[in-house]
Amino acid sequence: MIRSNTSSGCIFCNIINGKAPCWKVYEDNLVIAFFDIHPEAEGHILVVPKKHFKDIFDVEEKYIKRAAVVCKRLSLALNKALGIKDINIIHGSGKNAQQDVFHFHMHIWPRRKGDTIKLQYVPQKGIPPRFDILLERIKKYIPQPNN
């Protein structure tokens, strides 16, 4: 079990280090996955790096890559075990993005017809005319892949 770079006040670090209980669904050397104690739906799973990272801006790529692969594998397991055909993979970084545990994590939300989960996207009409300006500003900061 990885026990480095943890935050003592972090509930996810406490789970990783065996100081807080969880209903563990999956674990490997980089990530752990467990049921959310406040589930949005039956089968709601959190996928969490075993090393403490505050958010998307902080997490190392190998951990986020592993978390994404585990989200895929657990989604397939939910499909076979519970007949789940629809899934949301959700992540929020920062208070304005509704992050409430400041340890990077991804949610797997099984979706069913008639569930009460509401995700609402409201397109902002003034943005598309600025796409050229946005591209120019953003592209110079995008690192090139090291494949």
Active site members: 105
Q: How far is CA 65 from CA 33, 34, 49, 131, in A?
A: 14, 18, 10, 28
Residue with tokens 């959310």: 36
What is the per-residue DSSP string for 65-92?
HHHHHHHHHHHHHHHHHH---EEEEE--
- Do residues 108 and 87 touch, judged by C-beta distance below 8 A? yes
| Separation CA 106–CA 108 (nearest Å) | 7
